[in-house]
Every structure is written in structure tokens, then in C-alpha cells.
Amino acid sequence: MTEPSINQEMGAVLKSLGIDSINPGASTGSGWFPGTRDRIDSYSPVDGSRIASVEIPGRDVYESVINTAEKAFAEWQLIPAPKRGEIVRQLGVEFRNYKEPLGKLVSYEMGKSIQEGLGEVQEMIDICDYAVGLSRQLSGFTMHSERPFHRMYEQYHPLGPVGIISAFNFPIAVWSWNAMIAFVCGDVCIWKPSEKVPLCAIACQKIVARVFNKNGIPEGVSNLIVGDYEAGKHLAGDKRLPLISATGSTRMGKSVGETVGARLGRSILELGGNNAIIISGHADLRLALNSALFGAVGTAGQRCTTTRRLIIHDSVFDEFRDRLVHAYGQLLIGNPLDETMHVGPLIDKDAVRLFKEALKKIKQEGGIPIVEGEVLEGSPYESGCYVKPAIYLVRNDYEMVQHETFAPILYLIKYNTIEEAIRIHNDVPQGLSSSIMSNNLRETELFLSHAGSDCGIANVNIGTSGAEIGGAFGGEKETGGGRESGSDVWKCYMRRQTNTINFGDRIPLAQGIRFDIGE
Ligand code: NAD
């Protein structure tokens, strides 16, 4: 493995993370994976710098990582859950200690604003706290047996090594949503981060490894495989991994779902969204404006929960459109490490190409530009990844509107009745996050009812973007049906066992069946 090149600024950040090399080393149970190329270069979309270049060694490393993980699982699952929780508590302390450099690294490597980078680390801290409490609450039900002198109950056991495939837009938080829960459940993890943000993953792996080592935990509880989609495909097909939790595009999810399903493994799929806010004639337009604005341009439109469609009542359409256009005019686009900026870059030039293509197609379909989007050039946009967010008046049935373009393009659609708004809302293939802005109880309750939003997340008077870790996070239809993070999601990371104990001196069969053999 060659020593990677790291530019000066990131060198300082990595140093403050206690990382002197980006080679995570065999001692942390980490490895790289041979994909379609022999090296992964990480470029910052902020300024175009190459911040790391990692050579990928052979498949034997993958095998040794999985073998180490399997051995580690045998030991880790024997540690009582509250003690595993104690290790996760210490991870939370370390993430607190490293919040600033880690947040900065996220911002620099992925391109989201520094506040969002820090917010992502905060989510990791929050899920650690949540998992610590959970480690004392992994409880099952007891139920009454139909047979005398019998007791029935169910319990949850650790599942095994869990594969985590993550997307570029949340380089570290989504991993932590999975890994911290899996750790307290007694599982070990093998993380395949996005090839676009490997350095963030390496930094986390280093921090985690230090905590595990300090506690004398066997190598291989937390593992990292850096590679491209080939590495992800390999994880999906690996029978030694009973669960694959995959976050990314619907295209990726279909492939992972098929592969894992074919081997009858379990998967948690967290895929693309096409999220809308219904802005009713009864809405507080000030709240609606803030929600729509952050939802549409935050993270430069690169959140799975980004607001992509505004379904606006005819009576407030013109006023709301004008206020929105005015707000778009105030947006500051630039270096996301500068806190005064509202919009940072897209992840790479490929994303910029897709943005441009989407705008062209939407125009061809009849979309009317309200705010023209464009690619920004010259200083300080030399990386070629900065774009001006766009707004289009469209019909919901346009092909591009049905599709998730991972960029800041907002579609406006008019409606007249709440039933029509809900129908338009649900008439897309995806089903992640949804929202209604209204102070009318009849409308808001209808939206939350079975006849309302068909999404995994439905909000009233807050936007679609972002979520708290305490709830189950995920969506329906082409969003994949998976759930991560809080609520009872931990059950996905364990295997359920139903136990029946006979403390009598007879063997009565269930359902009154008799099977008499003379004694
Ligand atoms: P992507 O699908 O290109 O890649 C995601 C991850 O999957 C990467 O690690 C990649 O290497 C891997 N991968 C790609 N193809 C694969 C395959 N066939 N088999 C196995 N692994 C494969 O997505 P991206 O561009 O990194 O992220 C953006 C997408 O992720 C958007 O669609 C966004 O909505 C979605 N996303 C969803 C959620 C959610 O919770 N629903 C959260 C974040 C991002």
C-alpha cells in the first residue's frame, strides 16, 4: 500500500483527529477491496483538491477481515449487553471530543456546510446515547401458554456480522445509526462507505478502534472495507453476513435486495426519496417558506429527505412563489466551511452533469423556469461543483418529476382540493418523507390518516428534510421499506427466538392434538 497524499489543510484536521496516516492498518480489522480500479482518490468538491489517494490491495484482505469479524463476533456476543453499551458510551465521548475536526472533515470531503457537518457528528453522539440506554432494554414479551404448567416467552439474540453500505451524502451518520445499535445488540459490523468519502470513514474507524483497543475488545468488532460498488456487491452476496443494511440510490437497492434475497438473507434498504410539502391555503406561509427553503437547497439538494416538490394551493400560489423567488435571490453560494454561506457544492462533476441534464429535460417536457439554475464558474467556484439552485413550474406526471435528481431543483405544482393534493403527493414511485403545512385540523389529520401520505415519514408544519434519531427512519415503495435508527428498529439487528418451557410432568401437545402411545 503506498502512502497516500493528503493536502496540508486536511493534514492538520487529521492530525487533530489523532490520525497520522490514512492506512487504517490490519490491527483495526480494516482493509481495502479490489474493485474496478486499483486506487480510490478522494477529491474535495469545495476546492477540487485531492485529499487522499488509496491503493487497493487484493481480495485476501477481504477474506481476512471477514474471518476476523467472525471470530470477534464469537467473543463480542458473550459480553453482556449493558457492558457493550458502556463501550458505546465511550464512543459517544470520543465523538464529542472530536466533534469539530470530524465535522470539518465531513464538510471538506463531502461539501456540506460546516454546521451540517457538525450536525452529522451530533447525530452520531445522539445515537450513541440512545444505544447506551437501549443496551438495558433489549427485551422480549412473555405470553400465556395454552398448555398447563408451561411458560412461553421470546428473546432476542445477537445476529452476527452485519454489512453496512453507506452513501456519500451522510458519510458517517448513517453508519453510526446502524453500527451503534448493532454493537449493543451484540453484532459486529463491516462497513463499506461510499467511495466518494473514504477519509471520513477512515477517521471514524480510527477513533472507534482506539476505544475498542483501550477496553481490550478483540480486533474485528468494527471493520472497514474501502472499495467501490464491487465491494458493496460482494458484501451483499456474502452468506456469512446475515444482514445487509444498504443506504443509497434505488438502483443500488434493487441490486442489493435481489442479491441478499436470493440467499435468503435480511436487508434494510434506505433508498432514494422524492419528497413533497403540501402548502395549503390554511398554511402559515412564513413557516412554509423556511421549511421549503432549507428543504430544497440545504446540503445543495443532496439529502434523501430533500424537498423536491411543493404542492401549493391555488389561493396562495402566487404569493408563495414570489416570496420563494425573493428568498432564492438572497442565497449565498460558496465554500461550505464559511458559515455565512447557504449553499455549498455538489459532490462531484458527475453530479453537476446530471443537474444540467435534468434541467434540459424538464424544459423539454414543458417545465417553466421560475428561477433558472446554472453551473457557477470562475472564482471561488474553480472546483466546478457549484450550482445555482433552480425552481420550475411543472406537472407531476413529467418523467423528470417522477425521478430523484440529487441536486437543488425544486418543482412547483398547483392544486385546488386537499384530496387532489394528496393524490399528487403520493403519485411518485418513492415514499420517504412528506409534509403538510396547514393550520386546518381536517386537512392535517387527513394527511396523517391511512388515506393520506403514503411515506415512511409524515410531518405537520415542519418540512421534509432531516429527522430525529429517536424515531424509525425510512420509507416505502422504491425507498426500500427499511427502517434505521430509533423506536424498535433494533429488532432488525437481532434474531428472535420463541421459547416454551414445560415445568409439569406431562407432554400435552398444542392445539389439543393427541398422540397416545401406551406406557
Ligand atoms: P449510490 O447508490 O451510488 O451508492 C451508495 C453506496 O452503495 C456506495 O457505497 C456504493 O459504492 C454502493 N453501491 C453502489 N452500487 C452498488 C451495488 N450494485 N451493490 C452494492 N453496493 C453498491 O448512492 P449515492 O450517490 O452514494 O447516494 C445518493 C443516494 O442515496 C440518493 O438516492 C439518496 O436519496 C440515497 N440516500 C438514501 C437515504 C435513506 O435513508 N433513504 C439516506 C442517504 C442517501
How many H helices and E strands in the chain? Answer: 14, 24
Q: Any idea how long the chain is?
A: 519
Q: What are phi and psi of 416, to 5 degrees?
A: -115, -40
Per-domain residue ranges of the chain: 8-271+483-496, 275-469
pLDDT score recorded for residue 90: 98
Among the residue ranges 11-20, 213-222, 496-505, the one predicted with the least confidence is 11-20
Instruction: Tell how far the Cα of 240 is from the centroid of ligand 1, in angstroms.
Output: 22
Give residue 508's pLDDT.
87
Taking the C-alpha atoms of residue 68 and residue 62, their distance in angstroms, rounded to an integer, is 10
Residue 447 alpha carbon to ligand 1 centre in Å: 29
The model's confidence at residue 41, banded by pLDDT at 50, 70 and 90, is confident
Query: Which residues form ligand 1's pocket by a CB distance below 6 Å?
Result: 165-170, 174, 192, 194-195, 228-229, 232-233, 236, 247-249, 252, 255-256, 270-273, 304, 404, 406, 432, 475, 479
Q: Whose CA is nearest to atom 21 of ligand 1?
A: 232
Is residue 66 within 8 A of residue 161, CB to CB? The reply is yes
Kindly indicate the confidence band of residue 350, based on its pLDDT and cuts at 50, 70 and 90.
very high
Q: For 128-132, 218-222, 288-292, 393-397, which range has the lowest pLDDT when averaged over its residues? A: 218-222
Catalytic residue among 116, 219, 270, 478: 270
Rg, the chain, Cα only: 25
- DSSP-derived secondary structure letter, 433: E
pLDDT tens by residue, 449-495:
999 999 999 999 999 998 899 999 999 999 999 999 999 999 999 99
8-271+483-496 and 275-469 share one fold: no
Specify the pLDDT at position 238: 97
Find the angle CA(425)-CA(408)-CA(102) to the nearest 5 degrees.
115
Cα–Cα distance measured from residue 117 to residue 88, given in angstroms and rounded to the nearest whole number: 21
To the query of whether residue 109 is one of the catalytic residues in this protein, the response is no
With cut-offs at 50, 70 and 90, classify the pLDDT of residue 27.
Answer: very low
Ligand 1 site-directed mutation target among 249, 259, 348, most atoms within 8 Å of CB: 249
- How much distance in Å is there from the Cα of 166 to the middle of ligand 1? 6
User: What is residue 509's predicted lDDT score, i.e. its pLDDT?
Assistant: 86
Q: Which of 190, 229, 455 to mutate to test the pocket of ligand 1 (most atoms within 8 A of CB)?
A: 229
Cell of 276: 413533497
Which fold does the domain 275-469 belong to in CATH?
Aldehyde Dehydrogenase; Chain A, domain 2 (3.40.309)
Q: What is the pLDDT of residues 260-296, one digit of tens each?
A: 999 999 999 999 999 999 999 999 999 999 999 999 9
Question: What percent helix, strand, coil does the chain show, rounded to 5?
Answer: 40, 20, 40
Whether residue 383 is predicted with pLDDT greater than 60 in this model: the reply is yes
Average pLDDT for 39-57 = 83
What pLDDT, on the 0 to 100 scale, is given for residue 25? 38
The separation between the first and the last C-alpha atoms of the chain, rounded to the nearest angstrom, is 72
pLDDT the model gives residue 62 = 85
Each residue's pLDDT tens digit, 241-255: 999 999 999 999 999
pLDDT at 414: 98
Q: What is the per-residue pLDDT for 228? A: 87
| Alpha-helix residue ranges (DSSP H) falling in 98-151 | 99-110, 114-134
Torsion sign across C-alpha atoms 258, 263, 264, 269 = negative
Report CA-CA distances (Å) from 39 to 42, 46, 230, 255, 427: 10, 21, 13, 24, 42
* Annotated catalytic residue, options 189, 200, 204, 304: 304
* Amino acid 358: pLDDT: 98
d(CA 504, CA 97): 56
Residue 333: pLDDT above 70?
Answer: yes
- 400 pLDDT above the threshold of 70: yes
pLDDT for the residue numbered 30: 42
pLDDT of residue 55: 64
Q: How far away, in angstroms, is 16 Cα from ligand 1 center?
A: 29
What's the whole-model pTM score?
0.95
Q: Give the tens place of pLDDT for each residue, 412-429.
A: 999 999 999 999 999 999
pLDDT category, 3, cuts 50, 70, 90? very low
Nearest CA to ligand 1 atom 43: 304
> Does residue 270 carry a catalytic annotation?
yes
Architecture of the 8-271+483-496 domain: 3-Layer(aba) Sandwich (3.40)
Q: Looking at the predicted structure, is the pLDDT value of residue 311 above 80?
A: yes
pLDDT in tens, 164-213: 999 999 999 999 999 999 999 999 999 999 999 999 998 999 899 999 99
